[in-house]
């Protein structure tokens, strides 16, 4: 059966001795001349090496802010993040980050957009080219290497963006609603592709989403957050096979039970909020 972990500060996460990501007592408050808004309050989360963790919560609960703090793009007000054994104090170059929009350069083909990562990082050209070709094959983009973004479907554009994020073989991939703008069928297909890519690369992944189905299908653990200020309400272990057939998974009792429990938690949080 699917197990459930209560939300207590400092208790969330893998039992790995040295977690790949260690979020400790994190609070983030944004201040302006007119007001002060606390996006996150007392968030602690550990993610082990090679783990796939999904984060769910209502709009404005600080999910994206949490990813940006882990990446070093936004400083916390209190608390800290340790990433790959080091304290996060600045933008992290070793990780990959996939956003909701593919943000491809319109004048560059798919392969050239992927290799933009190599140019920015000063990677060896031969190594980067071989890696790009492997990723293109892995994501089913073979034959579209020279296609411009406007010649690609939304799903294909997101595959190019994913290849770009994975080009330097990051040990950690952060994903902020990467499939949110896609139609339902394309999104399902991208979920299947993403799960396969994760299994084949063993990258540590943290994905933010509004979709309960996506969170449960992709995640080994699902983190459920409260309305703003975002706190971790509950963490669920996903008791599904490592290799997941989409149709069989979605129709399984384990999936339906867990999805219903999470839906009830989110509904109660929204009502109480």
What's the mean per-residue pLDDT of the chain? 88
Residues 12 and 143 in one domain: no
- Could you say which of 114, 144, 169 is where a domain stops? 169
Looking at residue 2, what is its pLDDT? 40
Residues 13 and 57 in one domain: yes
Query: Dihedral sign, CA of 215, 216, 221, 226?
Result: positive
Residues 37 and 88 in one domain: yes
pLDDT at 269 over 70: no
Residues 55 and 179 in one domain: yes
pLDDT band at 15, cuts 50/70/90?
A: very low
Residues 179 and 248 in one domain: yes
pTM for this entry: 0.87
Residues 112 and 233 in one domain: no
Residues 73 and 148 in one domain: no
Range of the structural domain that residue 180 is part of: 4-95+173-272
pLDDT tens digit sequence for 140-181:
899 999 999 999 998 899 889 999 999 999 999 999 988 887
Domain holding 30: CATH number? 3.40.50.300
pLDDT band at 207, cuts 50/70/90?
A: very high
Upstream peptide bond of 57 is cis (omega within 30 degrees of 0) = no
- Could you say which of 169, 186, 214 is where a domain stops? 169
Residues 13 and 146 in one domain: no
- Could you say which of 169, 197, 220 is where a domain stops? 169
Residues 90 and 148 in one domain: no
């Amino acid at each position: 059966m699917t197990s459930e972990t209560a939300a207590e500060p400092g208790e969330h996460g893998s039992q790995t001795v040295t977690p790949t990501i260690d979020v400790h007592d994190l609070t983030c408050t944004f201040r302006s001349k007119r007001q002060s808004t606390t996006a996150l309050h007392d968030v602690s989360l550990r993610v082990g090496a090679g783990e796939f963790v999904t984060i769910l919560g209502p709009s404005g609960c600080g999910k994206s802010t949490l990813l940006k703090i882990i990446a070093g793009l936004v400083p916390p007000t209190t608390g800290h993040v340790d990433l790959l054994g080091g304290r996060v104090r600045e933008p992290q170059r070793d990780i990959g980050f996939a956003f909701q929009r593919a943000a491809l350069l319109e004048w560059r083909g798919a392969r050239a957009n992927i290799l933009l990562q190599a140019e920015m990082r000063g990677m060896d050209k031969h190594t980067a080219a071989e890696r790009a070709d492997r990723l293109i094959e892995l994501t089913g983009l073979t034959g579209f290497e020279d296609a411009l973004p406007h010649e690609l479907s939304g799903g294909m554009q997101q595959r190019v963006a994913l290849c770009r994020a994975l080009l330097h073989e990051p040990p950690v991939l952060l994903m902020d609603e990467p499939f949110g703008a896609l139609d339902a069928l394309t999104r399902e297909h991208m979920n299947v592709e993403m799960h396969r890519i994760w299994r084949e690369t063993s990258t540590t992944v943290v994905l933010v989403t509004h979709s309960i189905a996506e969170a449960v299908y992709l995640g080994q653990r699902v983190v459920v957050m409260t309305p703003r200020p975002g706190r971790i309400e509950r963490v669920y272990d996903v008791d599904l096979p490592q290799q997941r057939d989409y149709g069989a998974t979605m129709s399984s009792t384990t999936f339906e039970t867990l999805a219903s429990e999470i839906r009830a938690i989110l509904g109660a949080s929204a009502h109480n909020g």
